Amino acid sequence: MASIRNIFIVYRKELTEALRDRRTLVSSIVIPLLAFPVLAFGLGYMVVELIGEANRLPSRIMILGGEDSADVVARLKSGKDIRVVPTASNYVDLISDKKVRAVVDIPEGFQDSIAQGGRPEVKIYMFSGDMKSTIAANRVEKVILAYRDSEISQQLAAQHLPDSLMKPLKIEQKNVVSPEKVAGETFGGLIPYLAILMCMTGAMYPAMDLTAGEKERATMETILSSPIKRTHLVLGKFFLVLTASLTTAMLSVLSMGASFAAMSHFVKVEGVAEGVPIIPMHVSTVVGVFAVAVPIAVLFSATLITISLFAKTFKEAQSYLTPMTFVVLVPAIGAVLPGVELTPKLALVPILNASLLCKELVTGTYHWNYIVLIFASTSVYAAVALFLAVKMFQRESVLFST
> What is the average per-residue pLDDT within 293-297?
85
Cβ-based neighbour number of residue 203 at 10 Å: 34
> What is the average per-residue pLDDT within 104-126?
86
Domains and CATH numbers, the chain: 7-43+178-399 (no CATH), 54-165 (3.40.1710.10)
The set of residues, in sequence order, having a beta carbon less than 8 Å from that of 255 and lying 6+ positions away, is 32, 33, 34, 35, 36, 37
> What is the average per-residue pLDDT within 205-224?
77
> What is the average per-residue pLDDT within 29-57?
70
pLDDT of residue 186: 62
Residue 340 has pLDDT above 90, yes or no: no
Residue 33 has pLDDT above 80, yes or no: no
pLDDT of residue 35: 67
Do 110 and 72 contact (CB within 8 A), yes or no? yes
Residue 398 has pLDDT above 60, yes or no: no
pLDDT of residue 43: 64
Cβ-in-10-Å burial (0-12, 13-18, 19+) of 206 comes to buried
Least confident span in 8-22, 139-153, 170-184, 200-214? 170-184
> What is the average per-residue pLDDT within 111-135?
86
Do 300 and 354 contact (CB within 8 A), yes or no? no
Better pLDDT: 277 or 258 = 258
| Interatomic CA distance for residues 386 and 298, integer angstroms | 8
* Cα angle for residues 222, 224, 226 (degrees, 5° grid): 80
- What pLDDT digit, counting tens, does each position of 76-105 carry? 888 888 999 999 889 999 999 889 999 999
* Cα angle for residues 10, 15, 18 (degrees, 5° grid): 130
Rounded (10°) angle between helices 2-20 and 230-270? 50
Better pLDDT: 125 or 276 = 125
Better pLDDT: 163 or 350 = 350
Better pLDDT: 141 or 331 = 141
Range 31-34 contact pairs with CB under 8 angstroms and sequence separation of 24 or more = 31/198, 31/201, 31/248, 32/198, 32/202, 32/248, 32/249, 32/251, 32/252, 32/255, 33/251, 33/255, 34/255
Rounded (10°) angle between helices 314-332 and 352-362? 50
Better pLDDT: 18 or 272 = 18
Q: Could you tell me how many residues make up the chain?
A: 402
pLDDT of residue 283: 72
Residue 125 has pLDDT above 90, yes or no: yes
- What pLDDT digit, counting tens, does each position of 343-365 carry? 888 888 888 888 888 877 777 77
pLDDT of residue 40: 64
- Look at residues 303, 198, 307, 302 and name the one whose alpha carbon lies nearest to residue 245: 198
Chain mean pLDDT for the chain:
78
H-helix or E-strand containing 269?
helix 230-270
H-helix or E-strand containing 34?
helix 31-56
> Could you give the strand order of the β-sheet that contains 123-126, starting from the edge strand earlier in sequence?
82-85, 59-65, 102-106, 123-126
State percent of the chain over pLDDT 70.
79
Q: Confidence band (pLDDT; 50, 70, 90) for 120?
A: confident
pLDDT of residue 287: 78
| Interatomic CA distance for residues 217 and 165, integer angstroms | 84
Least confident span in 48-52, 236-240, 301-305? 48-52
Classified as helix, coil or strand, 319 is helix
Residue 187 has pLDDT above 70, yes or no: no
The DSSP code for 27 is I
Residue 42 has pLDDT above 90, yes or no: no
Do 136 and 126 contact (CB within 8 A), yes or no? yes
The distance in angstroms from the start CA to the end CA of the chain is 36
